[in-house]
A and B are shown apart, each in its own frame.
Chain A
Amino acid sequence: MKSLVRRAVSFVIYFLLFSILINGIFLLVIFNTDWDFVKRIKSLRFDQPSYEVLVLGSSLCEYGIDTELMSSKGIPSFNLSLVGSSIKTNYIQLREYLHNYQSQPKVVILAVNAYLEAFHQEGIQPVVEFTMQGHRYGIKDVPVSKFGWAGMELLKKALFSDYRKMSMTSGHKKSIRIEPDETQHQALQLDIKKYRDAKWIQKTANLCHDYQIKLILIEIPGVQNTQNQCEVGPFILEFENGSSAKLYNFNSRSFCEFIDPDRDWSGLSHFNKYGAVKFTYRLLNEIQLRNQLSSMD
């Protein structure tokens, strides 16, 4: 019996050391190779950033809005979006940014998709949660479990050249992968009430209001069966505390006519780099962002 107890204790110690080693190596690897980790660390260590526009959203936005192109058009901007981000995560990221840096953006673009995303999610994107101040670490933070998807991304990079050739500039993820959109249009309407009632959009609007930042909400395009029949807008949304935001419905079927369904997608409503360039041009043209920034000077 004593021998069994001794062996059990030895195994527990072995397992703990094994876990620390495995998790340490895994964390080190994804810390340096995973796009979202790299971006997140970079965004926490900006050296006096001078971005006039911050772009927030989920992976649809991370792939879809080419902030490098915007910067080249004289609009210094950075795309903070991360894979799987909830609007609550976007709010936390913005609050952190405003707290950490003296130089404030003039415009915040929050790009979401009412058809594909739930707005009420209380979960925080794991990379943000793991690296945010005040987070209490627990058993759920064991890296191999928390960032299991990052391990899968790593495996995809190792196996498929499409993933290896992906790049990131100014926070915009550029994919060269092409996956045709074979879905069909449906008779969908834009759910504006969903925007009005979204707690974390309201909080983001209030935060922007406090810092005198203009909040622009974008219904980001998805593949054909997610597109709606409503007009582009803009729609003015009024929130509590006198805050407001303009909502542009870029997932409108008429607006999305520029998208080539055979060339512009990289899969699951994510633009590839060709689609992202086309979309960003049209976004800038529709919003007249340069003019808006000039009027704020």
Chain B
Amino acid sequence: MDILSPTFVLVTITAAFILNFIALKYRVLYLVLLSSVFLSLIDLKLLVYVLAYSGINFYWGKRIAQDRKNATFYRIAIAFNLLQLVLLHYADFIIDPVFEWFNSSVRVSLLSELLVPIGISYFTLQGIGYIINVKMGWEKPEKRFDHFFLYISFFPKFLAGPIERSKHFLPQLKGKMQFTESNFINGLRLILYGLFKKIAIANELAPYVMDSFRNVEEFNGASLLVMTLILPLYLYFDFSAYTDMAIGLARCFNIELLDNFKRPFFSENMTVFWRRFHITLGSWFNEYVFRQFSFKFRKWGTYATVYGVFITWILFGVWHGAGWNFFALGVLQAVAIYYEFFTKKWRYRIYSHWPNSLRIWFGRVVTYLFYSVSLVFFFAPNLKYAFDYLAKLLSFSGELPLDALSTKPIFLLIYVPVIFLLELLENDYPDYNAKLRNVWYAKTKKSRILRWGIYSTLITIMFIQGLKSEQFVYANF
């Protein structure tokens, strides 16, 4: 399923347009049908699996609500969710090595080849979130299966999020899902931005990133330094592109999805960074792991927080994939959060003498650099590769590959600064940003010509770059 193809985008927009001619009571059914077609086009078995998964969680939700004090059903439901995730996503990391240790030829990971568990990391978190909400009484169990199935399988968010919350998504289905022209146009605008970010920026950066994680021996330290600085840009433009498209498509269907990014590279520390990058994942772990843990062990005092942070970030890292490199990714984030937590007063004493803007930008640069280095563990195929990469990077050997970088992706030197300039305005200069928005969205002929001119330019650039199909990084989980 190539969601970057013009055919997919046009068919989906047409389907969204048709939604508004369908009677209100059939709209959810229509979306269920579309999502089912989407899943079956990936693999029919996937559709069957997601149906079964939704059915089981739908049932557990009802049973848990019947007797909230009895934790048995709740534990079974959580165990079921985790077990299916481990069997289908982590078997080659957790289960197969155990069988190998006992010289057994059993390979549980073959299950994942049979069932193609695309999107499993996303829909499992949504399923667990729903179960916890019901158990805690934060939400009533869903009465209609079609609504619950749509919550799990809604196709714009199925492959790579945003990770929805049932209490945010499901109530929308009870409403009128009323068509508004501005909503539809906003949706189209987001789809266009998303496509542009993916095709004109992320796809152009991809070869550099992929090459450096294919064979580290081919690169000198200086080249790896440049590649490492590119990693956050690549991941951001790739993933936020998908999110923009998902939110835009959903908006065309009159459904609001949660935001996933909020100008992350303007964060002054890692704590803030994770509130702005992959927001729905960070907030999920915060809500359902960290807070639950800290609350349950609150009598431990500060230790509850310390252990809670560690467990949360380890799970956060391992959520990205089965491997020690992802474990290390989580540990690194935990260390950063500890550092920021325990040195807060000390840092305040030092930095309070600095000019405000210098302190802010110093924090932003350090945050970016830290994230760049930690992404080596994200992109590396294994832990050994990541350490080889870092060892070579730290040798600082060879010359900077500025020649190649200045001529090949030359247009990126325009697109990326323009996008960051707009984000800077939004983040640091809200007054100027408001003025710009007023000009941009003014209902005058001039503004419309300006807007349409920019949209036409973006479409033309995408046409020139070619609507090449490159997989989204976060669609791997």
Q: Which residues of A line the B interface, CB within 8 A?
A: 1, 3-4, 7, 11, 14-15, 18-19, 22, 142, 144-145, 148, 152, 155-156
Bound form: Cα–Cα A18–B184 in Å: 23
**Closest CB in chain A relative to B221 CB, distance in Å:** 19
Question: 1/0 per position for B7-38, CB-CB distance to A under 8 A?
Answer: 00000000000001000000000000000000
What residues on B are CB-neighbors of A18 within 8 Å?
Answer: 452-453, 456, 460
B20 and A1: CB pair below 8 A? yes
A-contacting residues, B154-200, CB 8 Å = 179, 181, 184-185
**Closest CB in chain A relative to B460 CB, distance in Å:** 6
26 A-B residue pairings within 8 Å (CB atoms): A1-B20, A1-B179, A1-B181, A3-B181, A4-B181, A4-B184, A4-B185, A7-B185, A11-B452, A14-B452, A15-B452, A15-B455, A15-B456, A18-B452, A18-B453, A18-B456, A18-B460, A19-B456, A142-B463, A144-B463, A144-B464, A145-B464, A148-B464, A152-B410, A155-B410, A156-B407
**Closest CB in chain A relative to B102 CB, distance in Å:** 50
Q: Please report whether the interface of chain A is mostly helix, strand, loop or mixed according to DSSP.
A: helix
**Closest CB in chain A relative to B181 CB, distance in Å:** 5
What residues on A are CB-neighbors of B184 within 8 Å?
Answer: 4
A-contacting residues, B271-287, CB 8 Å = none
9 tightest A-B contacts by CB?
A18-B456, A4-B181, A15-B456, A14-B452, A145-B464, A148-B464, A145-B463, A144-B464, A11-B452
Bound form: Cα–Cα A7–B456 in Å: 14
Bound form: Cα–Cα A18–B185 in Å: 20
Q: What is the total of A-B residue contacts with beta carbons within 8 Å?
A: 36
What residues on A are CB-neighbors of B322 within 8 Å?
Answer: none
Q: Which residues of B line the A interface, CB within 8 A?
A: 20, 179, 181, 184-185, 407, 410, 449, 452-453, 455-456, 459-460, 463-464, 466
**Closest CB in chain A relative to B337 CB, distance in Å:** 45
**Closest CB in chain B relative to A157 CB, distance in Å:** 13
B464 and A14: CB pair below 8 A? no
A15 and B459: CB pair below 8 A? yes
**Closest CB in chain B relative to A280 CB, distance in Å:** 29
Whose C-beta in chain B lies nearest to the C-beta of A3? B181
Bound form: Cα–Cα A152–B465 in Å: 12
Bound form: Cα–Cα A142–B184 in Å: 30
A19 and B181: CB pair below 8 A? no
What residues on B are CB-neighbors of A152 within 8 Å?
Answer: 410
Whose C-beta in chain B lies nearest to the C-beta of A156? B407
Whose C-beta in chain A lies nearest to the C-beta of B451? A11
- Given A11-B452, A152-B410, A155-B410, A19-B460 contact (CB < 8 Å): yes
B460 and A22: CB pair below 8 A? yes
Q: Please report whether the interface of chain B is mostly helix, strand, loop or mixed according to DSSP.
A: helix
Bound form: Cα–Cα A144–B459 in Å: 12
What residues on B are CB-neighbors of A144 within 8 Å?
Answer: 460, 463-464
Bound form: Cα–Cα A98–B456 in Å: 43
**Closest CB in chain B relative to A213 CB, distance in Å:** 39
**Closest CB in chain B relative to A209 CB, distance in Å:** 40
**Closest CB in chain B relative to A25 CB, distance in Å:** 12
What residues on B are CB-neighbors of A22 within 8 Å?
Answer: 460
**Closest CB in chain A relative to B248 CB, distance in Å:** 15
Bound form: Cα–Cα A15–B185 in Å: 16
What residues on A are CB-neighbors of B407 within 8 Å?
Answer: 156
The winner among B179, B452, B459, B460 for most chain A CB atoms within 10 A is B460
What residues on B are CB-neighbors of A11 within 8 Å?
Answer: 452, 455
What residues on A are CB-neighbors of B456 within 8 Å?
Answer: 14-15, 18-19
Other A-B contacts than A15-B452, A145-B466, 6 sampled, CB-CB below 8 A, are A3-B181, A11-B455, A14-B449, A18-B452, A144-B464, A155-B410
**Closest CB in chain A relative to B165 CB, distance in Å:** 30
Whose C-beta in chain A lies nearest to the C-beta of B180? A4
What residues on B are CB-neighbors of A7 within 8 Å?
Answer: 181, 185
Whose C-beta in chain B lies nearest to the C-beta of A142? B463
Whose C-beta in chain B lies nearest to the C-beta of A159? B410
What residues on B are CB-neighbors of A1 within 8 Å?
Answer: 20, 179, 181
Bound form: Cα–Cα A144–B466 in Å: 11
What residues on A are CB-neighbors of B455 within 8 Å?
Answer: 11, 15
**Closest CB in chain B relative to A100 CB, distance in Å:** 33
Bound form: Cα–Cα A156–B406 in Å: 11
Bound form: Cα–Cα A145–B453 in Å: 18
What residues on A are CB-neighbors of B20 within 8 Å?
Answer: 1
What residues on B are CB-neighbors of A15 within 8 Å?
Answer: 452, 455-456, 459
**Closest CB in chain A relative to B396 CB, distance in Å:** 21
Bound form: Cα–Cα A155–B410 in Å: 10
**Closest CB in chain B relative to A9 CB, distance in Å:** 13
What residues on A are CB-neighbors of B179 within 8 Å?
Answer: 1
Whose C-beta in chain A lies nearest to the C-beta of B466? A145
Bound form: Cα–Cα A1–B183 in Å: 12
Bound form: Cα–Cα A147–B459 in Å: 17
Bound form: Cα–Cα A29–B449 in Å: 25
**Closest CB in chain B relative to A185 CB, distance in Å:** 20
Bound form: Cα–Cα A19–B456 in Å: 8
Bound form: Cα–Cα A145–B463 in Å: 7
What residues on B are CB-neighbors of A14 within 8 Å?
Answer: 449, 452, 456
Bound form: Cα–Cα A11–B449 in Å: 10
What residues on A are CB-neighbors of B181 within 8 Å?
Answer: 1, 3-4, 7
What residues on B are CB-neighbors of A142 within 8 Å?
Answer: 463
**Closest CB in chain A relative to B273 CB, distance in Å:** 35
Bound form: Cα–Cα A89–B460 in Å: 28
What residues on A are CB-neighbors of B452 within 8 Å?
Answer: 11, 14-15, 18
Bound form: Cα–Cα A148–B464 in Å: 7
**Closest CB in chain A relative to B276 CB, distance in Å:** 33
Whose C-beta in chain B lies nearest to the C-beta of A17? B456
Whose C-beta in chain B lies nearest to the C-beta of A2? B181
**Closest CB in chain B relative to A180 CB, distance in Å:** 13
Bound form: Cα–Cα A3–B184 in Å: 12
What residues on B are CB-neighbors of A155 within 8 Å?
Answer: 410
Bound form: Cα–Cα A7–B448 in Å: 11
**Closest CB in chain B relative to A172 CB, distance in Å:** 24
Bound form: Cα–Cα A239–B464 in Å: 41
Whose C-beta in chain B lies nearest to the C-beta of A179? B403
Bound form: Cα–Cα A11–B13 in Å: 16
Whose C-beta in chain A lies nearest to the C-beta of B449? A14
Bound form: Cα–Cα A14–B445 in Å: 13
What residues on A are CB-neighbors of B410 within 8 Å?
Answer: 152, 155
Whose C-beta in chain A lies nearest to the C-beta of B20? A1
**Closest CB in chain A relative to B186 CB, distance in Å:** 12
